[in-house]
Amino acid sequence: MVYGTIDEAYASVNPVVPDDATDVPEGSPHFVESEEALLKRCATTIQRILDASNGENIAIVSHAPCDQAIAYYLEGAASTAESTLGPWPLGGITKFSRVGNGSWTMEMYGDTEHMPGKYKAGLKEWSLPCLANKTK
């Protein structure tokens, strides 16, 4: 997949919530957060990004906890126990696609073929605790 130019006018689709806020809308960024809150925040974020994308291709670059939480949301598993996601190799690429408004299909998960030499297998693996005992 080749992407065009980066949209330099992009603005976050998440509301700004002050750290000292006591009335935080569900799915809003607010830290320190539980694993459950992280999963909800990432689900809210990716759904808002998809809604704002008007069906265009998008690339998400993030750190492992959010990458794995977004993949879990797109996977559509009924629970973390039913998820097929496992440890995330640092530097890995995951690709989802769909036709129209259908369900998402995971084409690759944590792929590190693009990495050079000794990093091809991934620098190391990381996982959300709820997905840590899975194998990919």
Q: Is the pLDDT of residue 3 over 80?
A: no
Is 10 inside any structural domain? no
What one-letter code names the amino acid at 4?
G
Q: Is residue 11 part of a domain?
A: no
The mean pLDDT value of the chain amounts to 85
Q: Are 136 and 110 in contact (CB under 8 A)?
A: yes
Q: What are the beta bridge partners of residue 89? A: 125
* Continuous H helices in the chain: 35-52, 64-75
Query: In this structure, is residue 113 part of a structural domain?
Result: yes
117 phi-psi bin (left φ>0, alpha ψ -120 to 50, beta other): left
Residue 78, pLDDT score: 93
What is the mean pLDDT of the segment spanning 49-77?
89
The reply to whether 52 falls in a domain is yes
Task: Examine the pLDDT at 96 and tell me if it is beyond 80.
Answer: yes
pTM for this one?
A: 0.81
Query: Do the beta carbons of residue 72 and residue 88 sit within 8 Å?
Result: no
The model's pLDDT over 5-32, given as tens digits with 9 standing for 90+, comes to 777 888 888 877 887 888 888 888 877 7
Q: Where are the beta strands (DSSP E) in the chain?
A: 88-89, 93-97, 105-111, 125-126
Residue 24 belongs to a domain: no
- State how far the Cα of 13 lies from the Cα of 135, in Å rounded to an integer: 33
> 45: closest CA among 57, 60, 24?
60
Q: Is residue 4 domain-resident?
A: no
pLDDT of residue 57: 83
Give the mean pLDDT of 94-116: 88
The answer to whether residue 17 is domain-embedded is no
Domain-embedded: residue 8: no
The total domain count for the chain is 1
User: 66 is in which domain, residue-wise?
Assistant: 35-131
